[in-house]
Amino acid sequence: MTDPLTVVRRFIDEFQTAGKEAVADELLAPDFVDHTPFPGFGPTRDDVKRLFAMLRSGFPDLQGEIVDQFTDGDRVATRKMFRGTHRGEFFGKPAAGKPVAIQVMDIVRIKDGKIVEHWNVVDVAGLMAQL
């Protein structure tokens, strides 16, 4: 499976939403670089796995929804929405039971069926305001 769109959709569905860490190990290249890491995290694939473990801890029902998606050669641009319920501590905020929606736009570059680079914009301020 080397089609960039298929790789990214699988990553969103199986890792970001379903939490299958083995899929992150399979689809994120060993030398993966996140050029815009989430605050408090680094640029590696292990950092991505730690980020989503933290997100799932705070929002155990986290679901990713692809709103728009485009490809251009080896790059995939995605506008997506993550939704979940704040049922665990997140960035020092205790669980409030509130639903949240997180807007994200990202671009990933695929090489040989692996995600090798990532750039994104996450509405962190909007997320924190919802908490």
Q: For the residues of 84-124, what is the DSSP string, one character each?
A: EE--S-BTTBPP---EEEEEEEEEEEEETTEEEEEEEEE-H
Quick one: CATH architecture of 4-130? Roll (3.10)
Query: Are residues 100 and 131 in contact, defined by beta-carbon separation less than 8 angstroms?
Result: yes
What percent of the chain has pLDDT above 70? 99
Look at residue 55 in the predicted model and tell me its pLDDT.
Answer: 95
| Sheet hosting strand 63-72, strand order edge to edge | 28-34, 114-122, 99-111, 75-85, 63-72
Please give the single-letter amino acid code of residue 39. Answer: P
- Residue with the bigger pLDDT between 42 and 128: it is 42
Q: What is the pTM of this model?
A: 0.93
Name the pLDDT band for 1 (thresholds 50, 70, 90): low
